Amino acid sequence: MRKKTVRSLIKPAIIYYLVSLAFLLVQNLYGQSYNLRCKNIGIPEGLSNSHITDIIQDEYHYIWIATERGLNRYDGTEIINYPATKERGSYLSHHGIIDLENNIDGGLWIVTLNGLIQYANGSFQQKIITEDTDIVINGVGTIGRENWFYTSEGIYKQLQDKTGFEKVELSPRTNFKYSFINSADISTVMIIPQSKELWICTVAKGVYIKNLETGEIKSFSFKIEAN
């Protein structure tokens, strides 16, 4: 059985409590009230599991709640469960959800313990990033106008014609010092617009910063000073 990724382990436990506030986001979108109230959303209310791994709002203002035992959609009133099934096209292929991200072309990207799922127009479709069956997908994020997929073998993105995926080259192959990042086990990536930097977090080889203007890459380190 596939092990949990580092990205799934670092998901903060407090995400669970954000579910209690999810309905507020839906209500505010329609400007119905500023008299804020809180309520708990859990298994008795229809949630598939109480261990929340991620939460996101889609383009239609639905709240999607990922758990270790399935995916849930909340509209402010009702929770709809999307359990795992072997049937193609209707539901998920695995109930263990690691990460969620809005697809820049509409719909959702869903990272499960069994790989990558694309949700669009009410259906789920398994996506194969590479023929390498040993690759592990750690998560997905939005960098600029692209969705990036963080894997145990580097970062991938969809081709422009949406027919497949290609590797994102973070460092030129001629840069022998940092070219290993292209195939490193990536846990997450974050862009800092103010400083025009790309922060690259690996699973076991530290954090690296790429200057988006010059292309220069450097390792990130910090010192803890003793009192």
pLDDT tens, 154-179?
Answer: 999 999 999 999 999 999 988 889 99
Residue 50, token pair as written in the block: 């109480």
Of the candidates 74, 100, 127, which is a domain's last residue?
A: 127
Contact present, 198 and 210 (Cβ < 8 Å): yes
If you search the block for the tokens 């789920």, which residue do you land on?
Answer: 124
Contact present, 179 and 173 (Cβ < 8 Å): yes
Q: pLDDT tens digits for 82-101?
A: 887 766 555 677 788 999 99
* 95 lies in the same domain as 175: no
* 3 lies in the same domain as 42: yes
Contact present, 57 and 64 (Cβ < 8 Å): yes
* 27 lies in the same domain as 98: yes
Name the least confident of 4-13, 17-26, 191-200, 218-227: 4-13
Angle at 160 between CA 154 and CA 162, to 5 degrees: 85
Terminus-to-terminus CA distance in the chain, angstroms? 45
| Domain that residue 37 falls in | 1-127
Of the candidates 127, 161, 195, which is a domain's last residue?
A: 127
Q: pLDDT tens digits for 32-67?
A: 555 667 778 888 888 988 899 999 999 999 999 999
* 121 lies in the same domain as 136: no
* 90 lies in the same domain as 2: yes
* 181 lies in the same domain as 92: no
Q: pLDDT tens digits for 6-22?
A: 444 444 444 444 444 45
DSSP letter assigned to residue 9: H
Q: Which residue has the higher pLDDT, 5 or 215?
A: 215
Instruction: Check which CATH number belongs to the domain holding 6 and give it.
Output: 2.130.10.10
